[in-house]
């Protein structure tokens, strides 16, 4: 953006998050509160086109306060996780740019990192033990070798997504890690079914909820405090797709992804997939461990207006994640001379299945149906692809929209909530045709 001064770290995107009208004024040099459509017919349109390096054929369809995707992307690769962007260093959290998630199976080096506390130092798989107790007939203490010998070992491609994925786009902003699109991955996990292990321990009739614990420690250093300890209802715990996993993509689990043992509970918030797993106990009440109470991983029971204060009693625990999709090909910002373009990516829908994918290149005025593959197994994300045509040179955006098997479709706008969870608004990328 030649000649345009941006604010510090989040640049143009942050500026528009706080005041879209003022952002227009600062970036494109017009008076605040001036009609956006009038602005886009005159000098403002010229300024925005100059910033993009191309005209915008469908500019009349652009909503007010709209940030072109070409100006919103940023990435800061880090050592150890190929091309990931660090969002926080204590605890360490890092996401993956969308274009690095193009693989059907997410490479370990590109799987996002979500920590709540301090990971254990040099965990030893040989000495690791998992305790199963609480409301069970026969408490168990199992090594990883015990798990491998006593239970069926399975390999499943399973998607894990942080509940806060997409929080960076909330207006007004929500506190927490400012994930954009990359707190999602679909690796191949090897392990044993959680249901098989719980059944071997003997589930007592009054057990209604699991409670999970890991070996990570609280940021405060206090031994009596846990960084996170969540659980799920027994009905979800007994789903055959849940794994107690000891391998990731045919190798040891990455230490930042929970080595040597973790839960994978796909379709629900990634926080349910306890890392560095040491204990699962069954309870006759909803688990009240760390980040299970208050407003953690909860949303308002009913829709609320942006910025509205919500009483704590009106929050409910997040369960199945919403329908969502991601454009992974091409990378946003592509410049091409071709009048057609192949695009593709992934789609997923929590406990449900995605039944249709559509893409638009004219800011949502028209849509074309994409080819959508079935998942390789339950709870794996689904691949999609489409070819779009451009009527003339200029700036375009590709928008992606998934629909699940209950006919729920991704929205354009964000369903705001105080904690910044469950943003499943449509993903978009920028393309300039010369």
CA atoms lying within 13 Å on the CB side of residue 82: 11
210: which 2 tokens? 């699991």
Q: Report d(CA 344, CA 326) in Å as an integer.
A: 8
Q: Report d(CA 126, CA 104) in Å as an integer.
A: 31
Question: Same domain, yes or no, for 56 and 104?
Answer: no
- Cβ atoms of 272 and 159 within 8 Å: the answer is no
Is position 129 within any domain? Answer: yes
Question: Same domain, yes or no, for 103 and 210?
Answer: yes
Among 297, 317, 337, the domain boundary falls at 317
What pLDDT is attached to residue 21?
54
Q: Report d(CA 222, CA 368) in Å as an integer.
A: 55
Q: What is the 3-state secondary structure (H, E, C) of 82-117?
A: ECCEEEEECCEEEECCHHHHCCCCCCHHHCCEECCC
Is position 5 within any domain? Answer: no
Question: Same domain, yes or no, for 126 and 22?
Answer: no
Q: Report d(CA 432, CA 142) in Å as an integer.
A: 56
Question: Same domain, yes or no, for 398 and 355?
Answer: yes
CATH number at residue 425: 2.60.40.650
Question: Same domain, yes or no, for 152 and 232?
Answer: yes
What pLDDT is attached to residue 122?
83
- Cβ atoms of 157 and 105 within 8 Å: the answer is yes
Is position 50 within any domain? Answer: yes
Question: Same domain, yes or no, for 105 and 65?
Answer: no
Question: Same domain, yes or no, for 185 and 113?
Answer: yes
Is position 42 within any domain? Answer: yes
Question: Same domain, yes or no, for 112 and 214?
Answer: yes
The pLDDT profile of the chain, 434 residues, written as one tens digit per residue, is 333 333 333 344 444 444 555 555 554 444 444 444 444 555 556 656 655 667 888 877 776 556 666 655 544 444 457 789 888 878 889 999 999 999 999 999 999 999 999 999 888 999 999 999 999 999 999 999 999 999 999 999 999 999 999 999 999 999 999 999 999 999 999 999 999 999 999 999 999 999 999 999 999 899 999 999 999 999 999 999 999 999 999 999 999 999 999 999 999 999 999 999 999 999 999 999 999 999 999 999 999 999 999 999 999 999 999 999 999 999 999 999 999 999 999 999 999 999 999 999 999 999 999 999 999 999 999 999 999 999 999 999 999 999 999 999 999 999 999 999 999 999 999 999 99
- Cβ atoms of 359 and 414 within 8 Å: the answer is no
Question: Same domain, yes or no, for 377 and 292?
Answer: no
Q: Report the DSSP pairing between strands 427-433 and 334-336.
A: parallel
Total tally of structural domains belonging to the chain: 3
Is position 80 within any domain? Answer: no
196: CB partners within 8 A, 6+ apart? 151, 152
Among 261, 287, 317, the domain boundary falls at 317
Among 317, 351, 380, the domain boundary falls at 317
Is position 88 within any domain? Answer: no
Q: Report d(CA 73, CA 77) in Å as an integer.
A: 13
Is position 81 within any domain? Answer: no
Question: Same domain, yes or no, for 68 and 98?
Answer: no
25: which 2 tokens? 């004024």
pTM: 0.84
Length of the chain: 434
Domain range spanning residue 343? 324-433
What pLDDT is attached to residue 241?
98
Question: Same domain, yes or no, for 173 and 276?
Answer: yes
Question: Same domain, yes or no, for 313 and 329?
Answer: no
Is position 87 within any domain? Answer: no
What pLDDT is attached to residue 250?
97
CATH number at residue 216: 3.90.420.10
**Contacts by 231-235 with C-beta closer than 8 Å and gap 24+?**
231/272, 231/283, 231/286, 231/287, 231/289, 231/292, 232/265, 232/268, 232/272, 233/208, 233/209, 234/203, 234/207, 234/208, 234/209, 234/210, 234/282
Q: What is the 3-state secondary structure (H, E, C) of the chain?
A: CCCCCCCCCCHHHHHHHHCHHHHHHHHHCCCCCCCHHHHCCCHHHHHHHHHHCCCCCCHHHCCCCCCCHHHHCCCCCECCEECCEEEEECCEEEECCHHHHCCCCCCHHHCCEECCCECCCCCCHHHCEEEEEECECCCEEEEHHHHHHHCCEEEEEEEEECCCCCHHHCCCCCCCCCCCCCCEEEEEEEEEEHHHHHHHHCECCCCCEEEEEECCECCCCCCCCCCCCCCCEHHHHCCCCCEEEEEECCEECCHHHCCCCEEECCCCEHHHCCCCEEEEEEECCCCCCCCCCCCCCEEECCCCCCCCCCCHHHEEECCCCCCEEEEEECCCCEEECCCEEEEEEEEECCCCCEEEEEEECCCCCCCEECEECCCCCCCCCEEEEEEEECCCCEEEEEEEEEEECCCCECCCCCCCCCCCCCCCCCEEEEEEEC
What pLDDT is attached to residue 76?
46
- Secondary element (H or E) of residue 355: strand 354-360
Among residues 183, 323, 187, the alpha carbon closest in space to that of 267 is found at 323
């Amino acid at each position: 953006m030649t000649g345009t001064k941006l604010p510090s770290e989040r640049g143009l995107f942050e500026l528009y998050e706080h005041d879209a009208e003022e952002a227009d004024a600062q970036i494109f040099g017009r008076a605040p509160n001036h009609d956006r459509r009038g602005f886009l017919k005159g000098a403002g349109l010229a300024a925005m086109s100059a910033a993009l390096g191309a005209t915008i054929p469908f500019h009349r369809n652009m909503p007010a306060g709209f940030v072109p995707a070409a100006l919103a992307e940023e990435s800061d690769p880090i050592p150890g996780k190929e091309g990931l962007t660090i969002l926080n260093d204590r605890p360490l959290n890092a996401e993956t740019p969308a274009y690095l998630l193009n693989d059907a199976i997410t490479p370990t080096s590109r799987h996002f990192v979500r920590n709540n506390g301090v990971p254990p130092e040099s965990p030893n798989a040989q000495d690791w033990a998992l305790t199963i107790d609480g409301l069970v007939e026969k408490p168990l203490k199992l090594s990883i070798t015990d798990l491998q010998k006593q239970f069926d070992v399975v390999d499943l491609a399973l998607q894990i997504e942080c509940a806060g994925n997409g929080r960076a786009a909330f207006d007004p902003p929500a506190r927490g890690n400012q994930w954009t699109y990359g707190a999602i991955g679909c690796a191949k996990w090897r392990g044993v079914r959680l249901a098989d292990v719980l059944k071997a321990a003997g589930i007592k009739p009054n057990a209604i909820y699991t409670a999970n614990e890991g070996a990570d420690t609280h940021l405060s250093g206090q031994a009596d405090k846990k960084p996170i300890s969540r659980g799920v209802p027994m009905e979800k715990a007994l789903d055959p797709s849940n794994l107690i996993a000891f391998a990731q993509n045919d190798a040891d689990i990455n230490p930042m992804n929970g080595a040597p043992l973790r839960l994978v509970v796909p379709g629900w918030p990634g926080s349910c997939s306890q890392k560095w797993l040491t204990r699962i106990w069954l309870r006759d009440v909803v688990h009240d461990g760390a980040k299970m109470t208050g407003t953690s991983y909860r949303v308002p029971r009913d829709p609320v207006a942006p910025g509205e204060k919500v009483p704590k009693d009106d929050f409910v625990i997040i369960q199945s994640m919403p329908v969502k999709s991601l454009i992974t090909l091409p990378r946003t910002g592509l410049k091409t001379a071709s009048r057609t373009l192949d695009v593709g990516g992934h789609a997923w829908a929590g406990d449900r299945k995605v039944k249709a994918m559509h893409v638009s290149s004219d800011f949502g005025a028209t849509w074309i149906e994409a080819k959508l593959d079935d998942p390789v197994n339950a709870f794996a994300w689904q691949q999609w692809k489409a070819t779009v045509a451009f009527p003339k040179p200029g700036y375009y955006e590709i928008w992606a929209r998934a629909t699940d098997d209950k006919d729920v479709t991704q929205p354009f706008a964000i369903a705001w909530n105080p904690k910044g969870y469950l943003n499943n608004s449509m993903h978009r990328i920028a393309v300039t045709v010369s």
